């Protein structure tokens, strides 16, 4: 049709070129950025989903770091608890030896010196063992932050109850006493078989050297009292070490699960948001062919007006 008022073919071809250029812009943006989500080139609804999965993956990685830190802390508690248990076993051995009524007093004094030194070191380990500035053997429970529950896929926080390992801790100080002591210790190792180990100092008196209220030096009776306490304490210390081992095992499973969740969420974010270069480069090649063909057709459509001029000659 030889008309000049409206060049339909030219305008239709120009529209195709414009639309194809928009597609090329989107494809090139995805290829250059490596992402399918961004200004001007996101698929409908994909930005929010990709963002949520990215945040969940980051939360999982943070939770994993928190779990690993908690695991390191509990391993410190376990190692220190095992050392305290070994010391208590040695103290029990000394108390058994010192309870012999045939033992000369000066030999008992020598045993008490080691006994008191071990008790003092036990207390030092229990009160001065720190992890990241926090005393870990005094009954401070461990809370591990796992993310905001129900928001971005975070789980409930993990709380681990840690026993109080101090030798003079008893039930009056609260629950979770590693020695399982109920009452407070008294002078000359008194207080009963379920009492704690008293750290109160006693000055020298006559031939008896300076010692602690928890003492083997006073008499074989005080040694028997300490032995009775340690007969009760030592098994409970061993049980507390076993509880820590169980807590460590549960943390290791939590770490395994969280690491798997982090990988799964990172993979989901990648599948949703990362550019598939094979697909996008194939699209770009197709769009370039269409662009070149449309440009050539536009030239042909614009040349049709020359036919009218030919008829007017």
Q: Where are the domains of the chain?
A: 71-257
What is the per-residue pLDDT for 96?
A: 95
Q: Which residue has the higher pLDDT, 44 or 143?
A: 143
**Once rounded to an integer, what is the mean pLDDT over residues 194-215?**
89
Please provide the DSSP assignment of 14-53 as one string: HHHHHHHHHHHHHHHHHHHHSBS-STTTPPTTHHHHHHHH
Query: 312 pLDDT exceeds 80?
Result: no
What is the per-residue pLDDT for 152?
A: 42
**Once rounded to an integer, what is the mean pLDDT over residues 263-270?**
91
Put simply, whether the predicted model's pTM sits higher than 0.85 gets the answer no
Query: Coil, helix or strand for 290?
Result: helix
By the 8 A CB rule, do 160 and 70 touch? yes
Angstrom distance (rounded) from CA 59 to CA 63: 6
Of 191, 187, 227, 246, the closest CA to residue 88 belongs to: 227
Query: 151 pLDDT exceeds 50?
Result: no
Handedness of CA 225, 186, 108, 167 (dihedral sign): positive
What is the per-residue pLDDT for 3?
A: 55
Lowest mean per-residue pLDDT among 89-93, 98-102, 226-230, 241-245? 98-102
What is the per-residue pLDDT for 193?
A: 94
Query: 149 pLDDT exceeds 60?
Result: no
Pull the structure tokens for residue 166. 């101090």
By the 8 A CB rule, do 193 and 205 touch? no
By the 8 A CB rule, do 156 and 149 touch? yes
By the 8 A CB rule, do 24 and 246 touch? no
Query: 147 pLDDT exceeds 80?
Result: no
**Once rounded to an integer, what is the mean pLDDT over residues 179-187?**
93
What is the per-residue pLDDT for 15?
A: 84
Angstrom distance (rounded) from CA 246 to CA 268: 33
**Once rounded to an integer, what is the mean pLDDT over residues 219-224?**
91
Angstrom distance (rounded) from CA 215 to CA 134: 31
Query: 153 pLDDT exceeds 50?
Result: no
What is the rounded average pLDDT for all residues in the chain?
87
15 φ, ψ to 5°? -65, -40
Please provide the DSSP assignment of 65-120 as one string: HHHHHHHHHHHHHHHHHHHHHHHHHHHHHHHHHHT-TTS-HHHHHHHHHHHHHHHH
What is the per-residue pLDDT for 197?
A: 95
- On whether the 71-257 domain is CATH 3.40.50.620, my answer is no
Pull the structure tokens for residue 201. 């100092």
């Amino acid at each position: 049709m030889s008309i000049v008022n409206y060049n339909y073919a030219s305008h239709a071809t120009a529209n195709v070129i414009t639309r194809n250029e928009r597609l090329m812009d989107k494809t090139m943006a995805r290829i250059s950025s490596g992402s399918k989500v961004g200004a001007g080139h996101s698929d409908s609804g994909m930005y929010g989903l990709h963002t949520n999965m990215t945040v969940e993956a980051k939360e999982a990685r943070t939770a994993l770091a928190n779990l690993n830190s908690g695991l390191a802390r509990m391993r410190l508690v376990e190692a220190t608890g095992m050392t305290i248990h070994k010391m208590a076993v040695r103290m029990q051995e000394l108390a058994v030896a010192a309870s012999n009524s045939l033992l000369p007093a000066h030999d008992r004094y020598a045993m008490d010196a080691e006994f008191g030194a071990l008790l003092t070191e036990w207390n030092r380990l229990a009160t001065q063992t720190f992890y990241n500035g926090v005393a870990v053997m005094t009954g401070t429970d461990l809370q591990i932050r796992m993310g905001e529950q129900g928001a971005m896929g975070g789980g409930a926080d993990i709380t681990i109850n840690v026993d109080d390992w101090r030798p003079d801790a008893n039930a009056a100080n609260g629950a979770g006493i590693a020695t399982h002591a109920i009452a407070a210790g008294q002078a000359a190792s008194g207080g009963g078989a379920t009492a704690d180990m008293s750290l109160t100092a006693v000055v020298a008196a006559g031939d008896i050297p300076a010692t602690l209220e928890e003492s083997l030096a006073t008499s074989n009776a005080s040694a028997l009292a300490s032995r009775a306490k340690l007969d009760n304490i030592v098994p409970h210390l061993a049980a507390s070490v076993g509880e820590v081992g169980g807590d460590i095992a549960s943390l290791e499973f939590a770490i395994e699960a969280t690491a798997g969740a982090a990988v799964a969420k990172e993979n989901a974010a990648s599948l949703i948001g990362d550019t598939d270069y094979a697909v996008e480069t194939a699209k770009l090649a197709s769009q370039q062919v269409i662009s070149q063909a449309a440009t050539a057709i536009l030239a042909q459509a614009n040349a049709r007006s020359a036919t009218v001029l030919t008829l007017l000659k």
